Amino acid sequence: MNWVKFERSDMLRDRADTPEVSIWKKGTIAFTKAAEEQYGIKKYRYASLYFDPDTRKIGIKLTNDRSRPKDVFKITSGKSNLVITAPPFFKKFKLSTEKTKRYKLLEEDDMLVINLAA
């Protein structure tokens, strides 16, 4: 026999150690396990979301304070990770969620940050 080994045109990436988020089609932010662990996201029940139109960054401020329910989104457990379902946020700032996309999750000041321009 003359076996020919298949080689991928793309590379399988190991994301296990990289804190990242995905923004899903319907306006959901999903955290990788590495992000959950590095930033202790499981300790929080809510998140306030911010947007900087100049830098095209989304800021996520984790909290357990629900005293202003209009200002927070609930952090829930998805099938395999923690998620924030926030379609109104994406709609208000006219941010595209047509295609699921993955981003590095950074920490700036007291917020987790997603750089949409990167």
Distance in angstroms (rounded) separating the CA atoms of residues 5 and 64: 52
Q: Per-domain residue ranges for the chain?
A: 20-115
Decide which of 55 and 14 is more confident. Answer: 55
Longest CA pairwise span in the chain (Å): 69
Which CA distances in Å does 61 have to 2, 4, 20, 83?
57, 51, 16, 14
Q: Which among 97, 110, 117 has a CA at the least distance from the CA of 30? A: 97
Question: Which of 101, 111, 110 minimizes the C-alpha distance to 21?
Answer: 101
Average pLDDT value for residue range 80-104: 94
Q: Per-residue pLDDT tens for 19-52?
A: 999 999 999 999 999 999 999 999 999 999 999 9
54-74 per-position pLDDT tens digit: 999 999 999 999 898 888 999
DSSP single-letter state for residue 42 = G
